[in-house]
Amino acid sequence: TQLLEQSPQFLSIQEGENLTVYCNSSSVFSSLQWYRQEPGEGPVLLVTVVTGGEVKKLKRLTFQFGDARKDSSLHITAAQPGDTGLYLCAGEQGNNRLAFGKGNQVVVIP
């Protein structure tokens, strides 16, 4: 059983469109992190959210942590081909480890 469920698993959109991907769980997390991973590389940290209801922006990326700290969303505005990648969410439960979802594979077509 996956602790974190990410949806959709795969998403293909045209350049300039907006998209939202989701990371859901029935568990509460002390923090939640989003990473982007490209083929042959390790995940690269995008953001960490800690407070329930928190919203963080990173250029065209907006991250939201649910009020109950069980879920999160990532919204990309005006997607560009450089946004293509596997987006991984990872939750920390205070046990010094991260639990990862399977990821959202995003493809932005020029």
In the list 7, 28, 44, 52, the residue contacting another protein (rule: CB under 8 A) is 44
Toward another protein, which CB reaches closer, 31 or 77?
Answer: 31
Binding string, residues 62-101; x marks residues near another protein by CB under 8 A: --------------------------x-x-x-xxxxxxxx
Is position 42 an interface residue for another protein (rule: CB under 8 A)? yes
Q: Which residue pairs from 78-83 have beta carbons closer than 8 angstroms and sit at least 24 positions apart in sequence?
A: 78/16, 78/17, 78/18, 79/13, 79/15, 79/16, 79/17, 79/18, 79/19, 79/106, 79/108, 80/15, 80/108, 81/15, 81/108, 81/109, 81/110, 82/108, 83/108
Question: Where on the chain is the footprint of another protein (CB under 8 A)?
Answer: 4, 30-31, 33, 35, 40-45, 48-50, 88, 90, 92, 94-103
